[in-house]
């Protein structure tokens, strides 16, 4: 689906899907809600089990596209196994080519090495050196050593072979439970990168409720991550 885009602004795509700590799900969905982004379409992935979601009486597809000004977002409410991840990655790439995306940011979680830290840290990884300045400008430590598997690895593998630069943000989080607190850290960094103002007080008031509401999704996500999740950079172990 091709969408008319303004020539005066660079288009940025955010991508979020269930992963460790549900970081991508929480952070992107909150930005969609807070920025009042408009639902403009959906992504179809072959072999994805039929499912629909209902929110406020509205029927929603599991993988949706949102837009506000030059900011686009693709969010999935379902986790991907290794077979579905490749179809999803290529569908995202096709959307980017059709709609002249200049950069992509996807957010995920990785197991924290220190659960007692007050503030989770964000690590960054880029597929193209053109985005290295973002890490420097926003003081995001670079993911230096480690292993990446599953949907994360599939998306990175697809885009590192294209001309569209990808920035990956990894938030330290709890590996087995929804972690909205770590998502707040990701939201703050995203807001800076996008140059938008975002108030996170609403999600801060609902931390415990959000954890309980998303337990089932976390269980489904853990099943899809059973192979090998993202591990913290070795230099920080």
Average pLDDT for runs of 10 along the chain of length 237 = 50 91 87 93 80 73 92 90 86 93 92 68 93 92 88 92 94 81 90 91 62 54 54 43
Burial 71-97 (b: 16+ CB within 10 A, else e): bbbbbbbbbbeeebbbbbbebbbebbe
Q: Are strands 63-68 and 38-42 parallel, antiparallel or unpaired?
A: antiparallel
Question: What span, in angstroms and rounded, lies between the C-alpha atoms of 109 and 183?
Answer: 9
Q: What is the pLDDT of residue 235?
A: 39
Q: What is the pLDDT of residue 90?
A: 92
CB 179 within 8 A of CB 186: no
Q: What is the pLDDT of residue 181?
A: 83
Phi first, then psi: give them for residue 169, nearest 5 degrees.
-110, 125
Q: What is the pLDDT of residue 93?
A: 94
CB 87 within 8 A of CB 170: no
Question: What span, in angstroms and rounded, lies between the C-alpha atoms of 63 and 210?
Answer: 20
Select from 3.40.50.10900, 3.40.50.10540, 3.40.800.10, 3.40.50.720 the CATH code of 11-236.
Answer: 3.40.50.10900
Output the CA torsion sign for 141, 91, 32, 52. negative
């Amino acid at each position: 689906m091709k969408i008319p885009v303004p020539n005066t602004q660079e288009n940025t795509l955010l991508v979020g899907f269930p992963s460790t700590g549900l970081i991508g799900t929480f952070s992107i969905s909150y930005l969609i809600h807070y920025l009042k982004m408009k639902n403009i379409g959906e992504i179809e992935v072959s072999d994805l089990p039929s499912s629909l979601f209902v929110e406020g009486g509205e029927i929603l597809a599991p993988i949706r596209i949102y837009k506000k000004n030059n900011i686009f977002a693709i969010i999935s409410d379902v986790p991907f196994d290794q077979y579905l991840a490749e179809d999803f990655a290529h569908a995202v790439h096709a959307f980017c080519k059709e709609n002249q995306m200049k950069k992509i940011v996807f957010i995920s979680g990785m197991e924290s090495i220190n659960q007692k830290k007050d503030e989770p840290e964000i690590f960054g990884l880029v597929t193209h050196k053109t985005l290295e300045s973002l890490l420097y400008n926003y003081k995001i430590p670079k993911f230096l050593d480690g292993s990446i598997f599953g949907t994360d690895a599939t998306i990175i593998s697809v885009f590192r072979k294209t001309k569209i630069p990808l920035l990956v943000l990894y938030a330290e989080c709890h590996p087995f439970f929804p972690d909205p607190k770590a998502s707040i850290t990701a939201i703050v960094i995203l807001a800076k990168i996008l140059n938008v103002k975002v108030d996170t007080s609403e999600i801060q008031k609902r931390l415990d409720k959000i954890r309980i509401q998303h337990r089932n999704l976390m269980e489904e996500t853990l099943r899809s991550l059973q192979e090998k999740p993202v591990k913290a950079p070795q230099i920080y172990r």
